[in-house]
Chains A and B, each alone.
Chain A
Amino acid sequence: MRFSDLLVMSLNNLKRRKLRTVLTVLGVIIGTASIVVMMSLGIGLQELNMESLSSWTSLTEITVTQNYSMDPNASNEDSFITDDVVEKLSKLDHVVSVSPTLSISVIVRQGVYICEYANIQGISQEALHKITLESGGRYPDPDAQQMEMVFGNMVIQDFMNSKTKKYYYETGELPDLDMSQPFFVIFDQNAYYQSLYPSGDTAVSPPKKYMLNVVGVVAGGTDTYNSYSYSIYTDVEQLKTQLKKVFKRNPIPGQPTNSKGKPYSYFIYNNAKVQVDDMDNVKEVQQAINEMGYQASSMIEGIENQQRQAGMIQAVLGGIGAVSLFVAAIGIANTMMMSIYERTKEIGVMKVLGCDMGNIRNMFLIESGFIGLAGGVIGVALSYGISYLINHIGGIAQAMSGMDGDISRIPLWLVGLAVIFAVVVGMGAGFMPAMRAMKLSPLAAIRNE
């Protein structure tokens, strides 16, 4: 028999018993929709977590620091993050870029406002350009005469009114800073405090202040946190030049010294941020860096953990949905069995007339498969509707996840999988009845009831 003839016969049989077909399909619709909706919640939850994670950290970033030995007397010189190391790291496979970080604590003031524990981070131009700035700002120019700064969007909260000695968190009033005017930056904190609070007879003159400009502010306003919120950013080379100018041959605070207490002749970075091309390669690169003798850390372990958990949640949710599809499968089997009892004579006639046994089996498999297909397709459509309601009606999504964004998400692969699964379940449920129909005796046709 031709497949098209088989198909037409099967569909006609389904059409013949419309109500029963519709009811059976309804079961599959509900089963498919419950699986899809349940899994969409699991997927949505996981993606929301990933999104919130990636909103404040890069998932493809590895932070490389020196190896701190347990022995307090040992020098960590071998694993210092220097320009050479940055060069070496950038040659690794899958590494897109490497940016060193050089950070130093400074004092910043403008007018009556002072911030005594500001943190300046010197990073590469590449890394600077990853920061999203408030409109009107620009990135620090590596060739500028004076070092230029970008303020984190929450740095302003750290300024104290030196008259009232009150901070923003005490008054709730934001300091009245003028970003278009230069700020005074004091790099030598030791000298600053010693001049303020002289101990004994050694009078220290106040350290030199540098007038530096703020060329940009990190986007987000003063109340939205991101990973750039609390620091001041500048070009790393400019910072190095500046520090050399400030400290000359003296040790720079934060920079290690050798066993004789002397500073090194080169800069040692606090860390280097390695950008990897794809999340899947992070683990491999991290391993390679560890083997080079540095400390490498990333979000990957946390993410993997979370993905495992999310996978489990999805399986549980999908399993709950699968129960109703299982019930639907029993419905299909029942429908097919009834159909066979009704059509015993017809099947017998067909066998007498020479219809191949395989054709009879396939006819029933197509019927049950079609019930699965129809139920699967409509079920997926229904899932989209339910998903829309969950996401858009009165904060159900927020109540469930505590996060902004859609909690029910139906990716295309889930659509495909659900439809295929429904068809397979339909055919699976129809298999036993189909075998039974195939083995029916043709004599049933001859016997007169």
Chain B
Amino acid sequence: MGETTPIIQVRNLYKIYCVGEAKVRALNGVDFEIYKGEFCAIVGTSGSGKSTLLNMLAGLEKPTKGEIVIAGKHIEKLSEKELVAFRREKVGFIFQAYNLLNTMNALENVALPLSFRGMPKKERLARAQKYLNLVGVGEQARHMPNQMSGGQQQRVGIARALVVNPQIIFADEPTGNLDSKTTMEVMRLMQQIVRKRHQTLVMVTHDNNLASYADRQIRIIDGKIVEITINTPQEDAVWEDKRDEED
């Protein structure tokens, strides 16, 4: 691997939910790094804590304990206002359920994050169109979300994440609602674009097959990292993580 600069550093991260009397340890002490420009998959079964981890990386949730440093900034110490600004400047987000705004057409949806940055309308629509073309739904720019297939909607979702040219893109089960053929198309699209633009992509999935598209896989079970695998372009090389996560 060429890039070795960590853009995300996670140290000793805990997230404990209190459900009534019971305590759910969604994340139980997690340490890892994600490097600049890599495509990293977080893999695990349902309920293993993948989404919790991703949400904390994106600053949507506060950790119970531990630190997250992204591009030199301690995310866990930021206020909500600063977190919003951090996402606006640095982060793109791809949702499982696409989460396009139903009242806007594809073009306006993609342009939305740019309007949060105060970009004038003409400029941002032109740029949005460029990104729609890039993800292959340029023709559907004027379609409303309910007039598009799931695959098309997710392409629009990807365009919306990419349009602000973020350093990091988070994707939580981005193909979870798609059929297998469309899943492959979307996966290839994300992989290609991110690689070409040297952006960092962090993807959560429960599907081992999809995880194999990534440069690296972080496997978690019950809130703990059990292994980190590096995928070589030729053959999948598995590297067992010997480090013990327990304190």
| Residues in A neighbouring B60, C-beta threshold 8 A | 352, 441-443, 446
Q: Is the CB of B116 within 8 A of A355?
A: yes
The 9 closest A-B pairs by CB, nearest first: A354-B88, A354-B87, A353-B113, A355-B116, A349-B99, A5-B115, A442-B60, A354-B116, A352-B93
Instruction: Out of A1, A349, A448, name the residue touching B96 (CB < 8 Å).
Output: A448
Min C-beta distance of A431 to chain B, whole Å: 19
| Interface majority SS (helix, strand, loop, mixed), chain A | helix
Interface residues of A in 348-376 (CB under 8 A from B): 349-357, 359
- Inside 8 A of B121's CB, which chain A residues have their CB? 4-5
Chain A residue numbers with a CB within 8 Å of B101 are: 346, 349
Q: Is A85 an interface residue (CB 8 A)?
A: no
- Which B residues are CB-close (under 8 A) to A13? 103
Bound: A84/B220 CA distance, A: 109
Q: Are A448 and B116 in contact (CB under 8 A)?
A: no
Task: Knowing A1-B118, A2-B118, say if A356 contacts B95 (CB, 8 Å).
Answer: no
Q: Which residues of A contact B (CB under 8 A)?
A: 1-2, 4-5, 12-13, 16, 345-346, 349-357, 359, 441-443, 445-446, 448
Could you name 19 residue pairs across A and B whose Cβ atoms are closer than 8 Å?
A5-B121, A16-B103, A349-B95, A352-B87, A352-B93, A352-B95, A353-B93, A353-B113, A354-B84, A354-B116, A355-B88, A356-B84, A356-B116, A357-B80, A357-B81, A357-B84, A441-B60, A442-B60, A446-B51
Q: Write the B65-107 contact mask toward A (1 if CB under 8 angstroms, else 0).
A: 0000000000000001100110111010101110101010000
Q: How far is the CB of B117 from chain A (nearest CB, A)?
A: 8
Instruction: Determine if B115 and A1 form an interchain contact, defined as CB atoms under 8 angstroms apart.
Output: yes
Residue of B nearest to A442 (CB): B60
- Per the bound structure, the CA–CA distance linking A84 and B110 in Å amounts to 89
Task: Say whether A353 contacts B80, CB under 8 Å.
Answer: no
A333, B121: Cα distance in complex, Å: 31
Query: Could you tell me if A2 and B115 are in contact, using CB atoms closer than 8 angstroms?
Result: yes
Q: Which of B81, B84, B160, B164 has the most CB of A within 10 A?
A: B84
Structural contact, B103 and A353, CB atoms closer than 8 A: no
A12 engages B103 (CB within 8 Å) = yes
Given contacts A346-B101, A349-B99, contact A356 B85 (CB under 8 A): yes
> Residue of B at shortest CB range from A355?
B116
**CA A352 to CA B87, docked complex, whole Å:** 7
Residue of B nearest to A6 (CB): B115
Chain B residues near A357 (CB, 8 Å)? 80-81, 84
B38 at the interface (CB under 8 A from A): no
Complex Cα distance A175/B41, Å? 116
A295 to B88, CA, bound (A): 78
Q: A448-B96, A448-B97 are in contact. Are A353 and B120 (CB under 8 A)?
A: no
B 35-49 binary contact with A (CB < 8 Å = 1; else 0) = 000000000000000
**B84 A355 Cβ-Cβ under 8 A:** yes
CA distance A190 to B93 in the complex (A): 112
Smallest CB gap from B102: residue in A: A346
B84 and A351: CB pair below 8 A?
yes
User: How many Å lie between the Cα of A1 and that of B101 in the bound state?
Assistant: 17
From residue B78, how far is it (CB to closest CB) to chain A in Å?
13
Nearest-CB distance from A340 to chain B (Å)? 15
Q: How far is the CA of A442 from the CA of B115 in the complex (A)?
A: 18
Contact B118 A445 (CB under 8 A): no
**Closest B residue by C-beta to A443:** B60
| Docked CA distance A441–B91 (Å) | 18
Known: A354-B88, A355-B84, A357-B80. A345 touches B99 (CB 8 A): yes
With a CB–CB cut-off of 8 A, which chain A residues contact B81?
Answer: 356-357
CB–CB A446/B115 < 8 A: no
Q: Does B55 contact A (CB under 8 A)?
A: yes
In the assembled complex, how far is the CB of residue B219 from the closest CB belonging to chain A, in whole angstroms? 21
Q: Nearest CB to that of B113 among chain A residues?
A: A353
**Bound: A352/B90 CA distance, A:** 12
Q: Which residues of the partner chain B approach A448 to less than 8 Å between Cβ atoms? A: 96-97
Contact indicator B58/A352 (Cβ below 8 Å): yes
User: Given the complex, which residues of B lie within 8 Å of A443, measured CB to CB?
Assistant: 55, 60-61
